[in-house]
Copies of this chain bind each other. A is one copy, B any other.
């Protein structure tokens, strides 16, 4: 209480850290709303969110080994097995043993998989929340958010 910075009112017209805190909370709230909308779209495609994300991260033009997909999803290899099981059952992805290293299995997106993947990409790129913003505001927003992700780019300092 004693070592509190002086501030004006309830709205964060005050110092940087209050403004920043408010911005972060609002970003997370907006992201939560967007995610709910996206998950509804994904469900309509007959996929679960995690399966859709796996399909989204796969490169239709360059088959990935499962290990690499796990890295992109930032999850354990064991999960990828289950996700690819479901994608394969749905006919969207095929496993092919890599002849060069028979331990690896390449994940190949099928023709049907490509079609569904486009719709997943659309679902993940669309939001009604931008409807009230001008072209210039959307452009500004994009620049600022890009600046944030550039700042966070390091997996640096994560000594391991």
Contacts and interface: CB of A to CB of B under 8 A. Distances in A.
Interface stretch (A27-35, A80-88, A93-101, A108-116): A27-35
Given A132-B151, A135-B19, A24 B144 contact: no
Contacts of A31: 27-28, 31
A51 interface: no
Interface stretch (A2-10, A59-67, A120-128): A120-128
Interface string A30-65: 110111100000000000000000000000000000
Nearest to A131: B151
A142 B151 CA distance: 17
A23 interface: yes
A88 to B, nearest CB: 26
Interface residues of A, number: 46
Given A27-B27, A31-B27, A141-B141, A21 B132 contact: no
Given A133-B144, A147-B137, A148-B130, A27 B20 contact: no
A36 B75 CA distance: 12
Given A132-B150, A151-B131, A145 B30 contact: yes
Contact of A16 (B19, B22, B138, B140): B138
A61 to B, nearest CB: 14
Nearest to A151: B132
Nearest to A130: B20
A152 B129 contact: yes
Nearest first, the 6 A-B pairs at minimum CB distance are A21-B125, A31-B31, A132-B151, A23-B142, A129-B148, A129-B152
